[in-house]
């Protein structure tokens, strides 16, 4: 504990010394930014209002692409200056730089940039905090660009030196360029939360799965493909016939049955769509993400394990505020917006009735159930492609018979453990035989491995039922289609 206290004291002393150095900086150095801004604007420009625009932090790279195009426009000259603030100071405003009031000891510097992804495997240098002194047909004016900071998840652009209407037109032009050049358009992007309540967007490589990589009954896969991809292929005809394009698809079933795998295949199929993937804590960002999806349509928004946020309001005090954002997002888009919402859940019975029953939210629900014998054979073949597997017909049938009622995840783990069994005899592995599979299966089915089986999705229904009993009785399951007059239909797998 003493070591930790010494480290904290040393960091505090270093921070204090840094602050004192700033405070004792020469007066002319502390005001050079103010002098630059005031000299650039002149008396007339200083008399104008400051007009600002705030954007989500993930728009930082898009703003930079807009600025790059905007500054290169014919007839426009732009002089870029970096601005340095004391450590951990926070924000600064263009109004402060115009008046010199309540001003920290700011200084000019070379522009500070942050390298941000602008596509899979590529980055773009983006201004972190900079002044842009602009001269064009509109006049002479100043922009302050301030990216997300340590305690601020948003970024801002401020314009000074122009009448309000002219400043609004500058910001509108930047917005237009930002939308036109949006780096997320047509990409597969994962949404992750940031500590300060914002979100980050991470580019992902397309999964590259084929239909043969998805082991589901043909009728199930056909229905998913028809509702998602089929609408996309016939969007022009549907619009001409006055039919809506916005749609919702729910994949439900026990854990480990392949819902996520099916979604990955679907995302690979829809490569002309912007695809936004939310899971876990990122589900709380559905409002901002849905707005982005509307801007970048055609788009797919995937919400995995949606039951974690879309539970009955009565299950917890005050209900789930994320649920309201989800419902608003699905309702907010225009009917002809080409948006697909894909939801997955292990607990369809916990979904809010308003989400499941009303039109325009969920149009089709498809059960992704436990694999039957034929599917288990296909899964053994699929997962065995990367394994030097040598099984006889009897070996396969024995494994299929003994794995009745298991999930796809269980079978994947079975082959991994079979490889481990083979490694006890040969390293590197030359061949995995039926004996190795049998021993691995003996271990997985052992009475001491009950929790392991639950973690692989086997027996999860019994665990859920037990939890329901403790919580006052079983939850209602999926009702027949005629119980939901709003148009939501549940299709068994």
**In degrees, to the nearest 5, what angle opens at C-alpha 490 toward C-alphas 487 and 493?**
150
Q: What is the pLDDT of residues 274-295, one digit of tens each?
A: 999 998 878 888 888 888 999 9
pLDDT at 104 over 70: yes
Q: Are strands 154-160 and 139-146 parallel, antiparallel or unpaired?
A: antiparallel
**Given this model, what pLDDT does residue 492 score?**
42
Task: State which of 123-127, 203-207, 218-222, 318-322 shows the largest mean pLDDT.
Answer: 123-127
Residue 80, strand partner residues: 132
pLDDT at 347 over 90: no
Q: What is the pLDDT of residues 140-160, one digit of tens each?
A: 999 999 999 877 889 999 999
Q: Is 122 helix (H, G, I), strand (E, B) or coil?
A: strand
**In degrees, to the nearest 5, what angle opens at C-alpha 89 toward C-alphas 84 and 92?**
65
pLDDT at 45 over 60: yes
Tell me the pLDDT band of 349, cut-offs 50, 70 and 90: confident
Quote the CA–CA distance of 228 and 339 in Å, as a whole number.
Answer: 10
Q: What is the pLDDT of residues 186-244, one digit of tens each?
A: 999 999 888 777 788 999 998 888 888 999 888 889 999 998 888 888 888 888 888 87
Q: What is the pLDDT of residues 417-474, one digit of tens each?
A: 999 999 999 888 889 999 999 999 998 888 777 887 777 777 655 434 434 443 444 4
Complete domains list, the chain, with CATH: 23-180 (no CATH), 201-369+486-491 (3.40.50.300), 373-458 (1.10.8.60)
Phi and psi (nearest 5°) for 200? Answer: -115, 145
Residue 39, strand partner residues: none
- Cβ–Cβ under 8 Å, residues 58 and 194: no
Taking all residues of the chain, what is their mean pLDDT, rounded to a whole number?
Answer: 83
**Given this model, what pLDDT does residue 491 score?**
39
Specify the higher pLDDT residue, 8 or 366: 366
DSSP secondary structure letter of residue 50? P
Q: What is the pLDDT of residues 355-379, one digit of tens each?
A: 666 665 788 889 999 999 999 999 9
Q: Which residues of 397-430 are buried (b: 16+ CB within 10 A; e: fewer)?
A: ebbbebbeebbbbbbbbbbebbbebbeeeeeebe
Is residue 215 within a helix (H) or strand (E), and if so which, with residue range? Answer: none
Mark out the alpha helices in 392-490 (DSSP H runs): 393-402, 408-423, 434-444, 450-455, 460-470
Specify the higher pLDDT residue, 385 or 29: 385
């Amino acid at each position: 504990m003493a070591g930790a206290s010494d480290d904290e004291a040393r960091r505090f002393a270093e921070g204090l010394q840094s602050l004192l150095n700033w405070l004792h900086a020469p007066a002319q150095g502390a005001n050079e930014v103010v002098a630059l801004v005031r000299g650039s604007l002149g008396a007339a420009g200083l008399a104008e209002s400051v007009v600002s625009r705030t954007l989500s932090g993930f728009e930082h790279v898009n703003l930079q692409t807009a600025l790059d195009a905007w500054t290169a426009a014919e007839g426009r000259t732009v002089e870029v200056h970096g601005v340095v603030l004391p450590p951990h100071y926070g924000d600064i405003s263009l109004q402060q730089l115009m008046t010199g009031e309540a001003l920290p000891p700011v200084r000019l510097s070379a522009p500070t940039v942050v390298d941000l992804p602008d596509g899979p495997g590529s980055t773009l240098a983006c201004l972190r905090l900079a002044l842009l002194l602009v001269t064009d047909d509109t006049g002479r004016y100043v922009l302050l660009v301030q990216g997300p900071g340590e305690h601020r998840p948003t970024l801002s652009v401020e314009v000074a030196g122009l009448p309000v209407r002219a400043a609004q037109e500058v910001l509108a032009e930047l917005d237009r360029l930002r939308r036109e050049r949006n780096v997320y358009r047509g990409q597969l992007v994962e949404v992750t939360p940031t500590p300060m309540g914002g979100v980050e967007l991470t580019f992902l490589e397309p999964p590259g799965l084929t239909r043969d990589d998805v082991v589901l009954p043909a009728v199930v896969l056909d229905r998913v493909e028809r509702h998602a991809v089929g609408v996309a292929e016939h969007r022009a005809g549907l619009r001409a016939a006055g039919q809506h394009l916005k749609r919702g698809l729910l994949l439900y079933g026990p854990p480990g049955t392949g819902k996520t795998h099916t979604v990955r295949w679907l995302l690979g199929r829809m490569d002309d769509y912007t695809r936004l993937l939310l899971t876990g804590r990122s589900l709380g960002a559905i409002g901002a993400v849905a707005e982005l999806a509307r801007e970048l349509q055609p788009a797919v928004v995937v919400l995995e394990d949606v039951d974690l946020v879309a539970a009955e309001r009565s299950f917890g005090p005050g209900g789930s505020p994320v649920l309201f954002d989800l419902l608003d997002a699905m309702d907010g888009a225009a009917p002809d917006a080409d948006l697909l919402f894909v939801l997955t859940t292990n607990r369809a019975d916990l979904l809010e009735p308003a989400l499941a029953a009303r039109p325009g939210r969920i149009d089709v629900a498809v059960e992704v159930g436990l694999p039957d014998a034929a599917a288990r054979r296909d899964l053994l073949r699929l997962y065995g492609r990367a394994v030097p597997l040598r099984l006889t017909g009897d070996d396969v049938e024995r494994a299929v018979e003994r794995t009745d009622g298991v999930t796809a995840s269980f079978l994947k783990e079975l082959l991994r453990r079979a490889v481990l069994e083979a490694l006890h005899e040969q390293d590197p592995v030359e061949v995995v035989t039926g004996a190795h599979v049998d021993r691995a299966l003996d271990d997985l089915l052992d009475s001491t491995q009950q929790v392991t089986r639950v973690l692989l999705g086997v027996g999860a229904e019994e665990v859920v039922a037990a939890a329901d009993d403790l919580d006052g009785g079983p939850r209602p399951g999926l009702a027949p289609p005629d119980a939901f007059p709003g148009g939501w239909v549940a299709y068994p797998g």
